[in-house]
Amino acid sequence: MLNWALPAGCCGLIFDCDGTLVDSMPLHYQAWVTVLRRYNLDFPEARFYQWAGVPVEEIVRRLAAAQGLMVDAKAIAEERDYYFHSLPQSALRPVDAVVDIVRRFHGQLPLAVATGSTQASAEASLRGIGILNWFDAVVSSHDVGRPKPSPDVFLVAAERIAAAPANCVAFEDGDAGLQAAREAGMRVVDIRPWLPHRRAE
């Protein structure tokens, strides 16, 4: 178990989902590659991790613009999500170091999820590893306005658990999410050094 200490004055913990609570990134990348191949779009794996936390539709727009292609970003995003949910969810694993923190503070502090995925996708992943009911709120940037790196999803998550942003700690594995949490005024934990197969650059 990771020996992480709760900062003084902390009144709430907020977690990203994919790559932070759930080791779903390899499965997500498999879905991306399979679907984008149908549209002649390339998505290098390094960029996939760099863009962690960016909404699916925005990623499609960025890739198409960079590769000079005109596509229906919304339709491709929906196809990618559908394909992801068709994959065996038994392949999902908890990120043990982070889930241990959730386990320690569940019932002691309000806990929320602030995700760049859709709420349905995040809830399915959390349910898949058996921790969905540990959270007091699950908030998707799709439902609150501007996506990460804007702070909206973290601010709404803090509001849902009745905690001042300055008194929250946010856990993230992506640059966009880390920026969003900092702009929300939260203390931030970059969890990438805790992952055995990924390291913060």
Contacts of 45 (CB under 8 A, 6+ apart): 29
152 is catalytic: no
SS3 call for 92: coil
Residue found by looking up tokens 């970003």 in the block = 73
Contact (Cβ atoms closer than 8 angstroms) between residue 154 and residue 114: yes
Strands (DSSP E) found in 91-174:
111-115, 137-140, 168-172
Give CA–CA dist 9/42, Å, rounded: 45
From the candidates 16, 18, 152, 173, give the one annotated as an active-site residue.
16
Give CA–CA dist 171/92, Å, rounded: 19
Sign of CA dihedral 39, 40, 46, 50: negative
Cα Rg of the chain (Å, integer): 16
Residue found by looking up tokens 């997500």 in the block = 28
Active site residues: 16
